[in-house]
A and B are shown apart, each in its own frame.
Chain A
Amino acid sequence: MSPEIYSEVGSLLKWLLTAAWLLPLLGFLVEIFGGYWADRKSKVPAYLAVGCIATGFLLSLIALGTWVDAADMNLWAFESAGHSAEHGEGAEHGDDHEHATVAEHDHADAHDEEHHEHASADEHHGNDPLKTAFSGTFYRLGKFGRLDVTLDWYIDGLTVAMFAMVTLIASCIHIFAIGYMSDELTEHYEDHFVHLPGGRHFHRPGRFYRFFAYLSLFCFSMLGLVLAGNIFQVFIFWELVGVCSYLLIGFYVERHSASTAANKAFIMNRVGDFGFLIGLMVIWTWFGVFQFANTDPAHADQAGLFQMVRTHDGTLVTEGEGMEKTVSLQHIEGEARPSSIPYWLLTVAGLGIFAGCIGKSAQFPLQTWLPDAMEGPTPVSALVHSATMVAAGVYLAARFYPMFTPEVLLVIAYVGCITLFIGATIALVVTDIKRVLAYSTISQLGYMMLALGVGGWIAGLFHLITHAFFKSLMFLCSGSVIHGCHHEQEMTKMGGLYKKMPITCWTMFVGVVAICGLAIPFVTLPAIGAVAFSGFHSKDAIIASALTFSSLNPVHSLLFYVPLITAGITAFYMFRMWFMTFFGKPKDHHVYDHAHESPTVMTAPLLILSFFAIFVAVGGEAGPLVTLYGAAEPAHVAMGATDAGNIGLNLPSHEQIHNFHAQAGMAALLVAFAGTLLAYLFYASGAVDPGTVKRQFESVHEFLVDKWRFDVLYDWMWQRPVHVVASWCTAFDKYVLDGLIHGSASSVVKIAQWDRKFDEAVVDRSVNVLGEVTMSVANWFRGLQTGQLRQYVMLIAVSVVSLFVLVFIFFPGQ
């Protein structure tokens, strides 16, 4: 691409996405200030928020079109390969704006003069970001010699895809929230979850506007995170989404459980961010830049991180062995800074950044905050805690992929593996409908991490996007159920609701099928592959990657078996939830009788999302979605690796994964069906009584209900020690430091008292004695003055005589 075209397209994309990014911020400002002064019953804030985010979506779509055009992609390649003339298939997806726009642009510019540069997917995979990304700088935060901290943008296929996904889902959820939050449209909201002393009810003004303001702020932060062009900026928005999540979880500020959950979420995230900071410190010290990559030909001399770590074909150049091993940095010849970084430090940096991802994506061992975060209103759970923010950890891990050494990847894989298992097992026993979904989110995020860890970069992100759609769909469905059942969340009190709320029931079904990864076996359409919802394709890709990985590294075969089994567990608990909620006999007639289907403003988003949950992954790994962001895949992934890193890890190549694909897909499907069947037997047909099973595995059940006792453990490990240390510090201040001060002060006072005594007893005394002597002498003389004339005369006479006598005695000669 020539520099002129580059800057033209780049600036267009930049302005589009920046506008999409900043619009919600504007919305937030207007909503929070306007809403504060205005009527509590006004829906204007909601319309504003929806307007902002929907405009953002449109802008993202245009950007997506521009992107596809510029990268000269043929997103429908899979289709034209098989059915060159099959345009009916394309028409079927006419409603699909995303794809339609893409296709339009694609076709319109197919005969452009740039045709000679027609980049095949492989060419895009070079570590030459010029071809796959646009980057630039917004403005500077600080500059210190050669160190320059800036706010940047970095746009590649992944950015564009994430923008479209986030804005689309956010738009749907915003619309849904208009209905869901409508009971806040009042001056006197009565909160039944707050218990005041004396059994009074808690009243407060409605906070409709505030909810939408927070949502807008969140959208701003999330989009900023995706658009961020350097890792420090990611950290900034990372924290900002964290605080939005805090505000939204704690939306019902008067509920103690909500504010505690909000605190927990924020602090857990900060624990991850602590690791993130360590990663940043290493990067900053050894690289001196934060930018991912600099793709602007105008500033070709300033290399970004990815360009430094890896060569053009994506290999790490290392020297030495063991702890002495160093990674040579590229592109920094002629500059006086370290030209290599110790291998282990690069690993530390990677682990640090990944620690941030662990916190944000609720991975083991920081997963405990996410279920508690369900204290927030359901649209928040759908948007923040399933589709976007928690997926940001996966996004970052994917974005930062070139910086990860094989050791880090293995850690990522194992963390994901542990997480997906823990999450799924707890989801088996939870009865709160939102918490089931929360644990399932944890589990699915674990899948994504696992995929990234085993070298399935595309698979991980694939699942990220499909999961965002079907999980937000399911959350909204649960929101619809909760709304319909008047804020009842316990599945044990539901049942048989499919009659009352059919739309919710069947859209939920779409989500459930999608997440379980069910498909019609043995049927493949020539154009689009397997007949299945989106989740099948992505989970299939993950299992395939995991299988390939474990076959290449037999030591780590656990990384295949655990996710495979968990796929079955997933199917089981998801169908358990669906059956318990919508089928069987109503368990609580009070709830059942008052249940009702939600209004259109809530069901419409469900329908839109279920459409995407079905079709977003159409075509599987050859489909438009993967083509779109797949071009952003780091160069080294496609080829795999043999004996990489200090631990000699083998990473699968695309080709190897492809070979295992069919086998893995079969296994996954089988397990998923088994899980579904079990759930049917337990909760729908009544063939097995869940209660009996529960009693038989009493201790296991207890353990799972206690969430593997992580909360208790952390309480003992961290919370209490912190408070103890805190009280020590205070006591140290009070008794030791202040004690020293007081001690020295009182000793000074003591010395002063001694000094005073000395003064009084010695110095003053001596002066006083002199005075007293004078006085007494004078007193004696006073006695002489009697007033007796005769005495005086006598005295005079005697004195004169004695004077004479003396004179004569001493001077007799004269």
Chain B
Amino acid sequence: MNAYLAVAAVLFVCGVMCMATKRNGIGVLMGVELVLNGANINFVAFSKYGLLGLDGQIFSLFVIVLAAAEAAVALAIALNFYNNHLTIDVDQASELKN
């Protein structure tokens, strides 16, 4: 189980690093996916070896669905953002500031 958790942690950290370092919106999205999947692995791992049971599996299914939906929305935002700003650099997206 520790191996699963280690993989998940690596994935998670990679995802976070990806989100924190990538200026490209798509890259950030990918980082998000990585984080979510890291979490999924944890769920599944705890489902198999821990006390979660089927709940973990169902959670991970939810997360996948949610990730898909989220990706769709996020891509749409990115597309729109690109249409408006001709870039997908998230550092430029500071309109909510102030």
Residues of chain A at the chain B interface (Cβ within 8 Å): 785-790, 793-794, 797
Decide if B91 touches A788 in the complex (CB within 8 Å): yes
Contact residue among B90, B96, B97, B98 (Cβ-Cβ distance under 8 Å from A790): B90
Contact residues, B1-56 vs A (CB, 8 A): 16, 19-23, 28
* Chain B residue with Cβ nearest A790: B20
Q: How far is the CB of B84 from chain A (nearest CB, A)?
A: 16
Provide the residues of chain B in CB contact with A789, threshold 8 Å.
19, 28, 90-91, 93
CB-based nearest A residue for B94:
A787
Residue of A nearest to B32 (CB): A793
Give Cα A373–Cα B19 distance, bound, in whole angstroms.
124
Judging by beta carbons under 8 Å apart, are B19 and A793 in contact?
Answer: yes
Determine the distance from Cα of A785 to Cα of B94 in the docked complex, in whole angstroms. 10
CB distance from A190 to the nearest CB of B (A): 99
CA distance A797 to B19 in the complex (A): 11
Contact partners of A794 in chain B: CB under 8 A: 20
A-B contact count (CB 8 A): 31
Which one of A787, A793, A797 contacts B97 once the chains associate, using CB atoms below 8 Å?
A: A787
List, in ascending order, chain A residues with CB within 8 A of B90's CB: 788-790
The 9 closest A-B pairs by CB, nearest first: A787-B94, A787-B97, A789-B90, A793-B19, A793-B20, A794-B20, A790-B20, A797-B16, A788-B91
- Tell me the bound Cα distance from A379 to B91 in angstroms: 123
Q: Which residues of B contact A (CB under 8 A)?
A: 16, 19-23, 28, 90-91, 93-98
Contact in complex: B93, A797 (CB < 8 Å):
no
B19 touches A790 (CB 8 A): yes
Question: A797 touching B20 by the CB < 8 A rule?
Answer: yes
Query: Which residue of chain A has its CB nearest to the CB of B21?
Result: A790
Tell me, in angstroms, the Cα distance from A786 to B93 when the chains sit together. Answer: 10
Describe A's contact surface by its main secondary structure: helix
Q: Are B19 and A787 in contact (CB under 8 A)?
A: no
Tell me if A786 and B20 are in contact (CB < 8 A).
no
CA distance A786 to B98 in the complex (A): 8
Residues of the A chain whose Cβ atoms lie less than 8 Å from the Cβ of B93: 787, 789
Interchain residue pairs with CB less than 8 A apart (8): A786-B97, A788-B90, A789-B93, A790-B21, A790-B22, A793-B16, A793-B19, A794-B20
* A713 to B22 Cα, complex, angstroms: 121
The CA of A788 and the CA of B97, in the complex, are separated in Å by: 9
Complex contact A787–B20 (CB within 8 A)? no
| Residues in A whose Cβ lies below 8 Å from that of B97 | 785-787
The contact of B91 among A785, A790, A793, A797, by CB within 8 Å, is: A790
Please report the C-alpha to C-alpha distance between residue A786 and residue B90 in the assembled complex, in whole angstroms.
12
Q: Which residues of A contact B98 (CB under 8 A)?
A: 785
A785 to B93, CA, bound (A): 13
| Interfacial chain B residues near A785, Cβ < 8 Å | 97-98
A793 cross-chain contacts in B, Cβ below 8 A? 16, 19-20
Q: How far is the CA of A19 from the CA of B22 in the complex (A)?
A: 132
**B28 contact set on A, CB distance < 8 A:** 789-790
A787 vs B93: C-alpha distance in the bound complex, in angstroms?
Answer: 7
- Across the interface, name the chain A residue whose C-beta is closest to B25: A789
B74 to chain A, nearest CB (A): 12
Tell me the bound Cα distance from A787 to B23 in angstroms.
13
On whether the beta carbons of B94 and A786 are closer than 8 Å, the reply is yes
Residues of A within 8 A of B16 (CB): 793, 797
Q: In the bound complex, how far is the Cα of B95 from the Cα of A793, in angstroms? A: 18
B23 touches A790 (CB 8 A): yes
Would A787 and B96 count as touching, CB distance under 8 A?
Answer: yes
Which residue of chain B has the shortest Cβ distance to A795 in the bound complex?
B20
A247→B19 CA distance, assembly (Å): 118
Complex Cα distance A787/B92, Å? 9
> Cα distance A785–B28 when bound, in Å?
19
Contacts of B21 in A (CB 8 A): 790
Closest approach, in angstroms, between the C-beta of A505 and any C-beta of chain B? 125
- Nearest to A786 among chain B residues (CB) is B97
CA A789 to CA B94, docked complex, whole Å: 9
Q: With the chains together, A790 CA to B23 CA distance in Å?
A: 8
State in angstroms the CA–CA spacing of A421 and B19 once bound together. 137
Which residues of B have CB within 8 Å of A797? 16, 20
A539 to chain B, nearest CB (A): 124
Q: How close is A709's CB to chain B, nearest CB, in angstroms?
A: 103
Question: Bound state CA distance, A413 and B20, in angstroms?
Answer: 135
Complex contacts, B96 vs chain A, CB 8 Å = 787
Min CB gap B15→A, angstroms: 10
Residues of chain A with a CB closer than 8 A to B22's CB: 790
A342 to chain B, nearest CB (A): 105
| Most-contacted residue by chain B among A787, A788, A793 (CB, 10 A) | A793
Given contacts A790-B90, A790-B91, 12 further A-B contacts (CB under 8 A): A786-B94, A787-B94, A787-B95, A787-B96, A787-B97, A788-B91, A789-B19, A789-B28, A790-B21, A793-B16, A793-B20, A797-B16
CB neighbours (8 Å) of B20 from chain A are 790, 793-794, 797
Q: How far is the CA of A652 from the CA of B91 in the complex (A)?
A: 141
Q: How far is the CA of A789 from the CA of B19 in the complex (A)?
A: 8
Contacting pair A788 B94 (CB below 8 A): yes
Whole-angstrom distance between the Cβ of A555 and the nearest chain B Cβ: 122
- In the assembled complex, which residues on chain B have CB atoms less than 8 Å from the CB atom of A790? 19-23, 28, 90-91
Nearest Cβ on chain B to A799's Cβ, whole angstroms: 12
CA distance A558 to B60 in the complex (A): 151
CA distance A50 to B22 in the complex (A): 134
Least distance between B58 CB and chain A CB atoms (Å): 25
Across-interface contacts of B95 in A (CB, < 8 A): 787
Residues of chain B within 8 A of A787, CB atoms compared: 93-97
Residue in A785, A787, A788 whose Cβ sees the most chain B Cβ within 10 Å = A787
CA distance A673 to B98 in the complex (A): 132
A788 contacts across to B, CB distance below 8 A: 90-91, 94
Minimum CB distance partner of B22 in chain A: A790
**In angstroms, how far is the closest chain B Cβ from the Cβ of A782?**
8
Q: How far is the CB of B77 from chain A (nearest CB, A)?
A: 12
CA of A787 to CA of B96, assembled, Å? 7
Tell me, rounded to whole Å, the shortest Cβ–Cβ distance linking A784 to chain B: 11
Q: Which residue of A lies closest to B91 (CB)?
A: A788
A783 to chain B, nearest CB (A): 11
Nearest Cβ on chain B to A788's Cβ, whole angstroms = 6
Q: How far is the CA of A387 from the CA of B98 in the complex (A)?
A: 112
Residue of B16, B20, B21, B94 contacting most chain A CB atoms (<10 Å): B20
State A793–B19 Cα separation when bound (angstroms): 7
Q: How far is B19's CA from A183's CA once the two chains are assembled, in angstroms?
A: 129
- The CA of A789 and the CA of B20, in the complex, are separated in Å by 8
Chain B minimum-CB-distance residue to A794: B20
Closest CB in chain A relative to B28 CB, distance in Å: 7
Cβ–Cβ < 8 Å partners of A786 in chain B: 94, 97
Q: Which residues of A contact B94 (CB under 8 A)?
A: 786-788
The answer for the CA separation of A794 and B98 in the assembled complex, in Å, is 20
Alpha-carbon distance between A788 and B22 when the two chains are bound, in angstroms: 12
Of listed A788, A789, A797, residue having the most chain B CB within 10 A: A789
CA distance A789 to B92 in the complex (A): 10
> Closest approach, in angstroms, between the C-beta of A638 and any C-beta of chain B?
127
